Structure 1
Amino acid sequence: MKKLFMGITFSIVLFLAACAPNFEQEDQIVHEKEEETNEKAIIPKYKISEDYYRTFMPFEPGEARGLVVNNLNTRYDIYEFETGLMRIAKNTFDTNKYVFREGQYLDSSTVISWLNRKYTKDQLKERDMEETENLGLNPVDPGGGDIDKRNEENPIYLAHILEHNYLEAVDGKEGTYKLGGVVIGLAMNSVHYYQKEAYGATYETKISHSELEQKGKEIAQEVVNRLRKMDELKNVPITIALFEQKTKSSIVPGNFFAFAEVGKGSSKINGWEKVNEGYVLFPSNTAENDHREDMTWFQNFKQDVEEYFPNFNGVVGTGFYLDDQLQSLSIDIPIQFYGKSEAIGFTQYVTGLVMEHFPGYVAVEVNVSSVYGQEALIVKNPNQDEPFVHVYQ
């Protein structure tokens, strides 16, 4: 299986990237569009890290921009769905050869129509719709009978569709760029929420992972078939990935669990590659049962923090796992301070604990906050002897 690479996305750390940045001026380039007049654009030469794509400029918002906020359950899922899709893309599209652009081929009306349920002939008639408009990828709700049974048997599987475009230099020479590939993310529901009446109570039915995986792969094939019918996408490579989003009450994000690559001109998905990644809350039963050693490190750190503030127990962490190995740990410590000197002293104390308790291969970020906002940031990159520490003024 191709290995996925996890890049830690800490904003401050962007200045600490191991590779030396290139500060040369931007390239003014021409973006080739089929059957359209060429347009000028800027591709920045400066890269903050090898983990990130350069971005097509001026920035072109995605045609379906904004829908993700309404379709995904939590802000954690929204963030992870997009950044995780970029991690998937790196399996196919090299960050040194391709330039990122938000999706330009699936507009809002298309995405909305694909996210609908499929309609029966009678339902189409009621809505004054033609069969050509019956594009929903979610199952039919036949109506009538027991509403709970209907929703249990025909849940909404597909929550959202996200498109990313990757541009490549024509003939390998920078100066003129063309579409080099498309990456599609399909966000699948682990829980289907529904109402029996407008503005009434919300009910839910759980969807097993095996069921949403099966349905996701079926939907993915249909999405690829539809993309191939678009003139601009007939011959470009397509990568499509499946994301399982968490419940509305979750405080950790969902994760991608499978992806497939479809070669130029092909419409058939021949096989899927498993993605073994996910997020774990610390402390939690999941961490205790499945990652006991990591839980021990975290609990020792937490106990030492509480020695500084004996009545405090608010240390919470989120760990990212790839192939069952802890890659990064983000820790939040909300504290009530009575002065800046106290905040500085506490930050120094916590920095020592970070270096003492966590293994060198794990990236750690600690955010210290108070009722007044962010107080300090501590960042330790893998195998880094000295962490980065910033106390906010």
Structure 2
Amino acid sequence: MKAKFLARCKLAAAGLLAIVATGCSLLPTDKERVVEPTEPSLSPVIEVSEDYYGSILPYKPNQTRGMLSENKFRIDFSHLELGMMEFARDTYPTSSFLFQEGQQIQKEQVRAWIAEEKAGAATGQRKTGLLVHVMEHNYLNKETQQLAGMALGLSLSPVYQDATGQEKRYTVQELQERGQQLATKIVQSVRGKNLQVPLLIMLYQVPDVSSSLVPGNFIMSGTVNANESAISKWQAIEEEFFLFPSPEVASKYAQQSLQYDKFMRESQSFFRDFIGMTGVGRFMGGNLTELTITATAEYDSRTEVLQFTQFAANNIDQLFDKSVHVNMYVQAMNKPLAVYIRPVKGEPYMHIYR
């Protein structure tokens, strides 16, 4: 049995090496490859797949690491990072580029951009700061391991104070317009450092300070060709996040809200122990594309966990369209109990923690 298993492993490894070798032989040479930013797109769901960027050793952390703790705004770091990488794949494919955290822009430069923007308050406004943070990602040529492209994520706050000190909010359109103006200045500053590689610019609206579950969202992307300082094209992004259940999602997306309410009622009524359930839905262009459900309960037996997870998984398939990627996490107060993932493509996955 052991010999057969080892033989299968060797065969699989040989097949994998053959595939990798074939893929590498099809890559263009440095002379053939011309990198120009393509029109970036944010996929409806950040899929867990093997399409990840490789990196180089030793691993170098971002030069601006730690800056997020310097301000009062909550930035959903994971969504910002993964979203930026989703955009970058359109211009810097994982087959040809390596990923490296930002190494070109220092903390002092980001602080200077934030201070400069804050000082340029419009007449009649008491500035609280539009620019919150700038995240940099670097993309290296896979063969030469030299810098071949950059992505910059500009985190923006929609909240400001008027001349009387009253708190106001920019509309999405107003935030996009101000973000574009700010991005133009930052791109010119980057070009002043003799960084002439292609640039991807992403405008990211930070979540409300009081929001602990709902992340921020991308509102616009722009591209800059190599050796140019003007942003060649802007593209609006319609990304929204809503908490389930909530009055906000019930008001704007009544059908999806009712589906979730039914799912929650049936799940809670099936078991005698109380089950707390919260959901976060991601909408792209007005369509629900991803739903993450967290169910919290104190179970004494793993069989009960198994029964509940199977029951909930069946309800998910009955109530939510197959075009919605669903993540469900079952947990106790201090430990995970089970996970169920239903991707848009591929087979569902369920695991019960022992």
Residue 241 of structure 1 corresponds to: 202
Deviation at 1:193, TM superposition (A): 8.3
**In structure 1, distance between residues paired with 2:96 and 2:44:** 19
1:8–1:363 contact (8 Å) kept in structure 2: no
1:127-177 Cα offsets, whole Å, 9 max, x none, are: xxxxxxxxx2223479xxxxxx97x442310000111011124xxxx3x22
Residue 220 of structure 1 corresponds to: 183
1:257–1:276 contact (8 Å) kept in structure 2: yes
Count of aligned pairs between the two proteins: 314
Deviation at 1:180, TM superposition (A): 1.2
* 1:161 is aligned to 2:123: no
Deviation at 1:268, TM superposition (A): 1.2
* 1:79 is aligned to 2:78: yes
What letter is aligned with 2:133? H
**In structure 1, distance between residues paired with 2:345 and 2:263:** 19
1:156–1:192 contact (8 Å) kept in structure 2: yes
2:126–2:161 contact (8 Å) kept in structure 1: no
1:139–1:155 contact (8 Å) kept in structure 2: no
- Give the 3-state SS of the residue equivalent to 1:80 in structure 2: helix
Residue 106 of structure 1 corresponds to: 105
2:275–2:295 contact (8 Å) kept in structure 1: no
Report the TM-score when normalising by structure 1: 0.73
Corresponding residue to 1:351 among 307, 313, 317: 313
Equivalences for 1:250-329 in 2 at 5 Å? Answer: 250=211, 251-309=213-271, 312=274, 314-329=276-291
Change (3 A) 1:259 1:226: same
Residue 117 of structure 2 corresponds to: 137
**In structure 2, distance between residues paired with 1:185 and 1:2:** 13
What letter is aligned with 1:334? T
Change (3 A) 1:249 1:140: same
- Give the 3-state SS of the residue equivalent to 2:227 in structure 1: coil
1:16-35 Cα offsets, whole Å, 9 max, x none, are: x4xxxxxxxxxxxxxxxxxx
**In structure 1, distance between residues paired with 2:289 and 2:279:** 13
- Give the 3-state SS of the residue equivalent to 2:146 in structure 1: strand
1:72–1:160 contact (8 Å) kept in structure 2: no
* 1:179 is aligned to 2:147: yes
Deviation at 1:225, TM superposition (A): 0.5
Change (3 A) 1:308 1:70: farther
**In structure 1, distance between residues paired with 2:150 and 2:40:** 18
2:41–2:87 contact (8 Å) kept in structure 1: no
- Give the 3-state SS of the residue equivalent to 1:361 in structure 2: coil
**In structure 2, distance between residues paired with 1:273 and 1:72:** 29
Corresponding residue to 2:158 among 167, 178, 190: 190
**In structure 1, distance between residues paired with 2:182 and 2:290:** 32
Equivalences for 1:118-133 in 2 at 5 Å? Answer: none
2:172–2:219 contact (8 Å) kept in structure 1: no
**In structure 1, distance between residues paired with 2:132 and 2:57:** 30
Deviation at 1:111, TM superposition (A): 1.4
**In structure 2, distance between residues paired with 1:83 and 1:184:** 13
1:178-207 Cα offsets, whole Å, 9 max, x none, are: 21111111100022489xxxxxxx985433
Q: In terms of mean alpha carbon deviation, does 207-216 or 354-363 score higher?
A: 207-216
Deviation at 1:279, TM superposition (A): 1.3
Change (3 A) 1:72 1:79: farther
Change (3 A) 1:315 1:91: same
Deviation at 1:7, TM superposition (A): 4.2
- Give the 3-state SS of the residue equivalent to 1:316 in structure 2: strand
Deviation at 1:341, TM superposition (A): 2.9
RMSD between superposed Cα atoms in Å? 2.7
Report the TM-score when normalising by structure 2: 0.80
**In structure 2, distance between residues paired with 1:270 and 1:188:** 21
**In structure 2, distance between residues paired with 1:101 and 1:340:** 42
Deviation at 1:258, TM superposition (A): 0.7
Q: In terms of mean alpha carbon deviation, does 360-369 or 62-71 score higher?
A: 62-71
**Mind listing any 5+ residue stretches in structure 2 that lack a counterpart?**
1-38
- Give the 3-state SS of the residue equivalent to 1:155 in structure 2: coil
1:248-294 Cα offsets, whole Å, 9 max, x none, are: 11120111111111111111124311112221221223322322332
